């Protein structure tokens, strides 16, 4: 009976975890990354920010190089000069905009509108750059999205999210994930992403409940202290130094609590939407991606990372970054159909849609 029970359990596990299901892993360590991070920080300060472009390259090469799937790591091929040139262009435009805004206000307003109009184009360039400087098994990624899709995903989406007080955020999330995922390529093969709005709303409802519950608690505490607050404002009671200090402390705590509520809700939503979007993504029409982050665990890691980083004056930032990367990778996987080795061999023989020489003369990262 025990043998039969054990065999049954093994059969169940086999069904749940197919042989061709493989998770990502992260092989880096906080101690190892600290050496890269501290040099990046010091050189960025010494060079007044110029080295930050090369710092980004070193950081990404470390994290990409320690992200492993099927025993092979990803690679990041960008150069510091490409990132610096993009940043200089954007920085120069912002300086020109501020000068014109003070000298000729009308011209400044026109330049601001032009910048908004160019944001979708800049987003497309940034996504394309990030994809094309990334490779796996010597095959490059690519991004083929157009400006129209970027306008819908990154201009219209955020605007309707704000105008509807967050009610249509799931729709905006679907637009952005579908735009990015469905325009991503690996070699000549395409990804496709089509997350369900209903599934995203399930994550949204939990975040909305957190916000409503948190605001009700703050409002209730404020209501309990309303009489004292009103008395202080109308002068009906003489305020002592202690009462002033208490009121200031109360307002500070309420402000922090207000930001924390929205922060926690955002973390829960981000993890939930990632699970929905990644699990609704296929590669080459048959290989299924999966994300199964625990929303509570994800939020806990992000919050404790921030607390530890603040209390150590930033020195534990490398440990926090590695901790989050390891958790996210361990809860991301791919279910491959067929022989994995043969599939990657065919993709390698087909080659990439973009050669490495393209990045030498055309690719700049504008930071969007």
- According to the model, what pLDDT value does residue 361 have? 40
Write out pLDDT tens, residues 17-59.
Answer: 456 899 999 999 999 999 999 999 999 999 999 999 999 999 9
**pLDDT at residue 131 tops 90:** yes
pTM score, two decimals? Answer: 0.84
Distances (CA, A) of 234 to 219, 221, 229, 231, 243: 21, 20, 9, 5, 15
* Chain segment 217-253, per-residue pLDDT in tens: 888 877 777 666 666 665 556 656 666 677 777 788 8
In degrees, rounded to 5, the angle at the alpha carbon of residue 167 between the alpha carbons of residues 166 and 172 is: 75
The DSSP annotation for 152-200 comes to: IIIIIHHHHHHHTTTTTHHHHHHHHHHHHHHTEEETTEEEEE---HHHH
* Pick from 162, 49, 119: nearest CA to 368: 119
Residue of 303 and 223 predicted with greater confidence:
303
Confidence of residue 364 (pLDDT cuts 50, 70, 90): low
The least confident of 19-23, 75-79, 106-110, 341-345 is: 106-110
Alpha helices in the chain (DSSP H): 2-16, 30-46, 52-65, 80-103, 105-132, 147-151, 157-163, 169-182, 197-224, 226-234, 241-279, 295-311, 317-330, 340-350, 356-361
Q: Can you tell me the distance from the alpha carbon of 325 to that of 268, in angstroms, rounded to the nearest whole number?
A: 17
pLDDT digits (tens, 9 = 90+) for 4-22: 444 444 444 344 445 689 9
Looking at per-residue pLDDT, the higher value among 106 and 351 belongs to: 106
Q: Cα(162)–Cα(268) distance, rounded to whole angstroms?
A: 19
Q: Using the structure block, give the residue that is written with the tokens 């955002």.
A: 266
pLDDT (average), residues 335-364: 70
Task: Give me the pLDDT at residue 88, please.
Answer: 86
- Between CA 239 and CA 225 the distance in angstroms is 14
Quote the DSSP letter at residue 338: S
Minimum mean pLDDT range among 127-131, 241-245, 342-346: 241-245
Structural Rg of the chain based on CA atoms: 25
Residues 269-288 pLDDT 10s: 999 999 999 999 999 999 99
Q: Give the Cα separation of 255 and 260 in Å (integer).
A: 9
Distance of alpha carbon 18 from alpha carbon 140, whole angstroms: 27
């Amino acid at each position: 009976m025990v043998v039969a029970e054990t065999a049954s359990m093994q059969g169940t596990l086999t069904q749940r975890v197919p042989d061709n299901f493989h998770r990502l892993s992260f092989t880096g360590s906080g101690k190892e990354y600290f050496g890269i991070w501290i040099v990046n920080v010091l050189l960025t300060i010494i060079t007044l920010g110029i080295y930050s472009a090369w710092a980004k390259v070193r950081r990404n090469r470390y994290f990409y190089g320690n992200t492993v799937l099927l025993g092979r790591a990803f690679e990041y091929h960008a150069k510091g000069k490409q990132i610096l040139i993009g940043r200089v262009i954007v920085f120069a435009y912002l300086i020109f905009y501020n000068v014109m805004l003070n000298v000729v206000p009308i011209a400044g307003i026109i330049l601001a509108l032009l910048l908004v109009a160019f944001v979708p184009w800049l987003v497309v360039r940034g996504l394309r750059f990030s994809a094309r400087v990334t490779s796996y098994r010597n095959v490059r990624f690519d991004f083929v999205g157009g400006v129209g899709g970027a306008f819908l995903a990154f201009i219209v989406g955020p605007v309707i999210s704000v105008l509807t007080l967050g009610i249509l955020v799931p729709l905006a999330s679907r637009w952005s994930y579908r735009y990015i995922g469905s325009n991503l390529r690996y070699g000549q093969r395409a990804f496709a992403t089509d997350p369900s709005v209903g599934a995203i709303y399930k994550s949204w409802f939990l975040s909305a409940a957190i916000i409503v519950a948190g605001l009700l608690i703050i409002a209730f505490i404020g209501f309990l202290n309303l009489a004292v607050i009103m008395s202080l404002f109308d002068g009906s009671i003489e305020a002592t130094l202690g009462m002033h200090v208490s009121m200031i402390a109360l307002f500070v705590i309420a402000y922090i609590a207000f930001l924390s509520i929205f922060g926690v809700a955002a973390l829960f939503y981000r993890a939930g939407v990632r699970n929905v979007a990644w699990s609704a993504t296929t590669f080459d029409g048959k290989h299924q991606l999966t994300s199964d982050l625990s929303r509570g665990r994800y939020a806990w890691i992000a919050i404790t990372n921030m607390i530890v980083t603040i209390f150590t004056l930033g020195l534990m930032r490398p440990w926090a970054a590695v901790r989050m990367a390891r958790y996210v990778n361990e809860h991301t996987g791919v279910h491959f159909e067929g022989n994995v080795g043969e599939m990657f061999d065919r993709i390698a023989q087909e080659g990439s849609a973009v050669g490495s020489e393209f990045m030498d003369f055309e690719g700049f990262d504008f930071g969007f």
